[in-house]
Amino acid sequence: MSSAPAVAVVDAQTPGNVGTIARAMKNFGFSELLLVDPPELDREGEAYGYAGQAREDILPNATEIEFDDLVSEYHTVGLTATTNKNATKHVRYPFSTPDELAEELQVVDAPTCLVFGREDNGLKNEELARLDEVCAIPASEDYPVLNLGQAATITLYEFRELALSSTQLPDVERDRASEAEIERLYSQFDELLAGIGHPDEKRAKSGRMFRRLIGRAHPTDRETVTLLGIFRRAAEELTQDVD
Amino acid sequence: MSSAPAVAVVDAQTPGNVGTIARAMKNFGFSELLLVDPPELDREGEAYGYAGQAREDILPNATEIEFDDLVSEYHTVGLTATTNKNATKHVRYPFSTPDELAEELQVVDAPTCLVFGREDNGLKNEELARLDEVCAIPASEDYPVLNLGQAATITLYEFRELALSSTQLPDVERDRASEAEIERLYSQFDELLAGIGHPDEKRAKSGRMFRRLIGRAHPTDRETVTLLGIFRRAAEELTQDVD
């Protein structure tokens, strides 16, 4: 895997959007922010106000760069909401979606940069024509134009595996109860059925119902043990009542 | 597939975030916005300013609702950045990621609602405990807390297939050139090699190189035809030069 892509913003008009992008970068493990013709980024203004903890590092370390240097130094990916309809024009066609492109770039070992355009009009045709790849976020036909900060947030989220080796989330999959434990739960459920005097001819069917329900839920160890204990206790008490 | 989930925001503090969420809803095909204890949404204020075209419908049609009614009327999914570490507590564990949950909900036929919490502290434990499922966006261990509007944008993007039957993007896959046409390109490349006097013993190897390069790129019809024409023209001129 190559290092995390850089993020460039071309000719942003509002500092707040630069701050929003910086925050998303920090949330998803990116660090290199490049600005082409940026607005003034005042430490007391919206860029720093919207950046969250990125105000400490990403935003103050952002680098101004010329568009020409961006093109010559990086493998560039231009983001756009507006694609060409077919292959008769090459400026905005073909394109990839962010998830497709993120997967593709996993095996690309090159300094790569995601390039975002202006709030109102995005990247100009003459800019996009000079970039190496085009990327578009699938959205509603009725209203496909995302706000700049929101578009960048989604793109960086999709590219997170190029920048993060792990996330804040614990590994739920590994916490699934063992098959043996879940089988004990099914047995215990059957004893509960016996305990309530469930008709013999229906016990197998109800057991299958329970197996399907629990099977879909992939219970954790804790859930399985807790439920097992409750069923055991119930079955015991029901059997005592009968005595 | 069930209808598009509703979106609820609990006790939002800043109107701008409600506007951002409304815009993302419109971008990804959602329409039902529910507000629990909302701030004042002034038509001249930030909510409408940030909503883009959602200022025309989603925002003015937003409904105020009590948390109790949310729980009783919907299958609820609570979003949180902070999960429990393991199964010893059940408020924030287990959880799904937005992509997992979106896939799961494709087959669930129930009125569903995605529930977002406050800007600073998200959903309280006593609120989350009453919701049916928990969802968390994977992010950086160092800084997993997303801005409310950005978290909602990513979630709605991941849930778009529950709300949109199609997107603004044309179908690039169907525009791939036919195998026969691409094979003609390979033949023409071989003739180009002949035209430049490429050594016989290297032609097959160079042909394989070209096949691998083009094979990975899945060229469109237009790209293939254009390149084919250029190679043919070059081969013809090279042959004439030899004469």
- B-chain residues near A95 (CB < 8 A): 169, 172
Q: Considering only residues B92 and A118, tell me which one the structure prediction assigns the higher pLDDT.
A: A118
pLDDT exceeds 60 at position A83: yes
B213 touches chain A (CB under 8 A): no
Confidence class for position A1, pLDDT limits 50, 70, 90: very low
Judged by a CB distance cut-off of 8 A, whether residue B133 touches chain A is no
Q: What percent of chain A has pLDDT over 70?
A: 98
Of the spans A75-79, A108-112, A231-235, B86-90, which averages the highest pLDDT? A75-79
Q: Is the pLDDT of residue A140 over 90?
A: yes
Using CA atoms, how far residue B211 sits from A64, A103, B104, B176, B230, in Å, is 40, 22, 40, 15, 17
pLDDT at B1: 45
Q: What percent of chain B has pLDDT over 70?
A: 98
To the nearest whole Å, the CA of A69 is away from the closest chain B CA by 26
User: Does residue B11 register a pLDDT over 80?
Assistant: yes
Of A27, A145, A147, the CB nearest to B146: A27
| Residues A221, A175 contacting (CB under 8 angstroms) | yes
Q: Please state the separation of Cα A98 from the chain's center in Å.
A: 11
pLDDT at B134: 94
ipTM, two decimals = 0.88
Measured between CB atoms, does B78 come within 8 Å of chain A?
A: no
> What average pLDDT does the structure give for chain B?
93
pLDDT of A2: 54
Amino acid at A140: S
Question: Which pLDDT does position A243 carry in this prediction?
Answer: 52
CA distance between the termini of chain A: 67
Domain limits, chain A? 6-162, 173-242
* pLDDT band at residue A242 using 50, 70 and 90 as cut-offs: low
Quickly tell me which residue has 């390069």 as its tokens. B213
Overall average pLDDT of the B63-73 stretch? 97
Residue B24 in contact with partner chain A when CB distance is under 8 A: yes
Residue with tokens 């971008």: B27
CB B22 within 8 A of CB B59: yes
Give the pLDDT of residue B97.
95
Q: When comparing pLDDT for A91 and B140, which is higher?
A: B140
Judged against a pLDDT cut of 70, whether residue B2 lies above it is answered with: no
Task: State how far residue A49 is from chain B, nearest Cα, in angstroms.
Answer: 12
**Residue A7, pLDDT above cutoff 50:** yes
| Residue B21 CB burial class (10 angstroms; 0-12, 13-18, ≥19) | buried
Tell me how far apart the alpha carbons of residues A16 and A124 are, in angstroms, rounded to a whole number: 21
> What does B42-104 look like in DSSP terms, one character per residue?
-TTSHHHHHSGGGGTTTTTT-EE--HHHHHHHSEEEEE-S---SSTT--SS-S-B-HHHHHHH
Q: Are A120 and A12 in contact (CB under 8 A)?
A: no
Query: CB-CB: which of B137, B167, B175 is closest to A138?
Result: B167
* Buried-state track B34-60, b at ≥16 Cβ within 10 A, e below 16: bbbebbebeeeebbbebbbbbbeebbe
Tell me how crowded residue B25 is: count the other CB atoms within 10 A of its CB: 29
The answer to whether residue A52 scores a pLDDT higher than 60 is yes
Identify the pLDDT of residue B237. Answer: 87
A167: left (phi over 0), alpha (psi -120 to 50) or beta: beta
Report the residue from A87, A147, A160 with minimal CB separation from B52: A147
Mean pLDDT, residues A25-29 taken together = 98
Separation CA A16–CA A28 (nearest Å): 19
List CB contacts of B199: < 8 A, sequence separation 6 or more. none
Fold designation for B6-162: Alpha/beta knot (3.40.1280)
How high is the mean pLDDT of chain A?
93
- Across the range A12-25, mean pLDDT stands at 96
B115 has pLDDT over 70: yes
Q: Is it the case that residue A5 has pLDDT exceeding 90?
A: yes
**Confidence bin at A171 (pLDDT 50/70/90):** confident
Sequence-ordered list of residues with C-beta below 8 angstroms from that of A49, at least 6 positions apart, any chain: A16, A19
- What is the rounded average pLDDT of the residues A133-151? 96
The predicted model gives B47-66 an average pLDDT of 97
Assign B173 a pLDDT band (cuts: 50, 70, 90): confident
Which residue, chain included where needed, has tokens 């989930």? B5
Distance CA B29, CA A139 (A): 8
Half-sphere CA count of B142, side-chain side, radius 13 A = 16
- Mean per-residue pLDDT for B146-160? 97
H/E segment holding residue A99: helix A98-105
Query: What would the mean pLDDT of A209-217 be, rounded to a whole number?
Result: 91
Q: Which of B154, B161, B181, B230 to mutate to test the interface with A (most CBs of A within 10 A)?
A: B154
Instruction: Say what the pTM is.
Output: 0.90
List of chain A residues whose C-beta atoms are within 8 Å of the C-beta of residue B144: 27, 167-168
Q: Is A10 helix (H, G, I), strand (E, B) or coil?
A: strand
B140 phi and psi angles, rounded to 5 deg: -65, 135
